[in-house]
Structure 1
Amino acid sequence: MYLLELGGEDDAFAAREAASAASGVRRLAPGLALADAVAADRIRGLAYTHRASDLLGRTDASLESARTLLEAASLDREGTVAVRATDVHGSSGVDTEQAERDLGGILVERGFDVDLDDPDHVLRAAFSIGRLEDDANEDGTDEEDVCALGWLAAESVRDFGSRAPTDKPFFQPGSMDPLLARAVANLAGARPGSTILDPMCGTGGGLVEAGLVGADVIGTDAQAKMVRGARVNLAHFLESDEPSPTGVSRGSWHVARGDGTRLAIPDDAVDGVVFDAPYGRQSKIETHRLEDLVSGALAEARRVAPRAVMVADRPWATEARAAGWEIEASFERRVHRSLTRYVLILDR
Structure 2
Amino acid sequence: MYYLELAGEAGDEAFAALEAERAAASAVERVAPGLATARGIRADRVPTLAYTRRVSELVGRTDADVASAVAVLEAASFDRSGTVAVRARNVRATAEVSTSAAERELGGVLVDRGFDVDLDDPDHELRVCFADDVCLVGWAVAERDAAFGSRAPTDRPFFQPGSMAPMDARAYVNLAAGPALPDATVVDPMCGTGGLLVEAGLVGARAVGSDAQAKMASGAAENLAHYLDDDAAAASANPDWAAVRGDATELPFADDAADGVVFDAPYGRQSKIAGHELEDLVAGALAEAARIAPSCVLVADRSWTDAAEAAGWRVDERFERRVHRSLDRHVHVLKRS
TMscore range, shorter length: over 0.9
Q: Which residues of 2 match residues 15-30 of structure 1 at below 5 A?
A: 15-19=17-21, 20-30=23-33
In the alignment, which residue of structure 2 is the partner of 1:60? Answer: 63
Alpha-carbon separation, structure 2, partners of 1:68 and 1:54: 17
User: What secondary structure, in the 3-state scheme, does the structure 2 residue paired with 1:117 have?
Assistant: coil
Match of 1:259 among 247, 259, 282: 247
Q: Which moved more, 1:199-208 or 1:90-99?
A: 90-99
Alpha-carbon separation, structure 1, partners of 2:100 and 2:303: 44
Q: Which moved more, 1:11-20 or 1:279-288?
A: 279-288
Alpha-carbon separation, structure 2, partners of 1:49 and 1:279: 28
User: What secondary structure, in the 3-state scheme, does the structure 2 residue paired with 1:44 have?
Assistant: helix
Counterpart AA for 2:5? E
Counterpart AA for 1:44? P
User: What secondary structure, in the 3-state scheme, does the structure 2 residue paired with 1:78 have?
Assistant: coil
Does 2:101 align with 1:98?
yes
Alpha-carbon separation, structure 2, partners of 1:333 and 1:166: 22
Q: Which residues of 2 match residues 238-277 of structure 1 at below 5 A?
A: 238-240=228-230, 252-277=240-265
TM-superposed deviation, 1:324: 1.0
Does 2:30 align with 1:35?
no
Q: Which residues of 2 match residues 7-18 of structure 1 at below 5 A?
A: 7-9=7-9, 10-18=12-20
Q: For residues 306-347 of structure 1, what are the alpha-carbon distances to aligned partners after superposition, in whole Å with 9 as ceiling and x for unaligned?
A: 000010111111111111100010101100101100100000
In the alignment, which residue of structure 1 is the partner of 2:90? Answer: 87
TM-superposed deviation, 1:118: 0.8
Alpha-carbon separation, structure 1, partners of 2:186 and 2:110: 46
TM-superposed deviation, 1:75: 2.5
User: What secondary structure, in the 3-state scheme, does the structure 1 residue paired with 2:48 have?
Assistant: coil
Between Structure 1 and Structure 2, the one with more helix by share is: 2
In the alignment, which residue of structure 1 is the partner of 2:139? Answer: 151
Counterpart AA for 1:316? W
In the alignment, which residue of structure 1 is the partner of 2:318? Answer: 330
Does 2:325 align with 1:342?
no
The answer for unaligned runs of 5 or more in structure 1 is 130-144, 242-250
In the alignment, which residue of structure 1 is the partner of 2:234? Answer: none
User: What secondary structure, in the 3-state scheme, does the structure 2 residue paired with 1:217 have?
Assistant: strand
Alpha-carbon separation, structure 1, partners of 2:294 and 2:202: 22
Counterpart AA for 2:31? L
Aligned Cα RMSD in Å? 1.0
The answer for unaligned runs of 5 or more in structure 2 is 232-238
Alpha-carbon separation, structure 1, partners of 2:300 and 2:290: 17
TM-superposed deviation, 1:240: 3.5
Counterpart AA for 2:241? W
In the alignment, which residue of structure 2 is the partner of 1:192? Answer: 182
Q: Which moved more, 1:179-188 or 1:86-95?
A: 86-95
Q: Which moved more, 1:64-73 or 1:120-129?
A: 64-73
Alpha-carbon separation, structure 2, partners of 1:193 and 1:64: 46
Q: Which residues of 2 match residues 313-328 of structure 1 at below 5 A?
A: 313-328=301-316
Aligned residues: 324
Alpha-carbon separation, structure 1, partners of 2:78 and 2:263: 47
TM-superposed deviation, 1:69: 1.2
User: What secondary structure, in the 3-state scheme, does the structure 1 residue paired with 2:334 have?
Assistant: strand
Q: For residues 267-296 of structure 1, what are the alpha-carbon distances to aligned partners after superposition, in whole Å with 9 as ceiling and x for unaligned?
A: 111100000000001211120111100000
TM-superposed deviation, 1:86: 0.7
Counterpart AA for 1:325? W
Q: For residues 27-48 of structure 1, what are the alpha-carbon distances to aligned partners after superposition, in whole Å with 9 as ceiling and x for unaligned?
A: 1111111111101110110000
Percent identical pairs in the alignment equals 65
Q: For residues 103-147 of structure 1, what are the alpha-carbon distances to aligned partners after superposition, in whole Å with 9 as ceiling and x for unaligned?
A: 111110111111111111000000001xxxxxxxxxxxxxxx210
Q: For residues 83-113 of structure 1, what are the alpha-carbon distances to aligned partners after superposition, in whole Å with 9 as ceiling and x for unaligned?
A: 1111110100322122111111111011111
Match of 2:154 among 166, 189, 193: 166
Match of 2:276 among 288, 297, 314: 288
Instruction: Give the TM-score taking structure 2 as reference length.
Output: 0.94
Counterpart AA for 2:301? D
TM-superposed deviation, 1:234: 0.3
User: What secondary structure, in the 3-state scheme, does the structure 1 residue paired with 2:243 have?
Assistant: strand
Alpha-carbon separation, structure 1, partners of 2:196 and 2:97: 39
Q: For residues 198-250 of structure 1, what are the alpha-carbon distances to aligned partners after superposition, in whole Å with 9 as ceiling and x for unaligned?
A: 00000000000011010001000000110111011100110147xxxxxxxxx
Match of 1:73 among 73, 76, 94: 76
User: What secondary structure, in the 3-state scheme, does the structure 2 residue paired with 1:189 have?
Assistant: helix
In the alignment, which residue of structure 1 is the partner of 2:53? Answer: 50
Counterpart AA for 2:8? G
Does 2:215 align with 1:212?
no
Alpha-carbon separation, structure 2, partners of 1:232 and 1:284: 27
User: What secondary structure, in the 3-state scheme, does the structure 2 residue paired with 1:330 have?
Assistant: strand
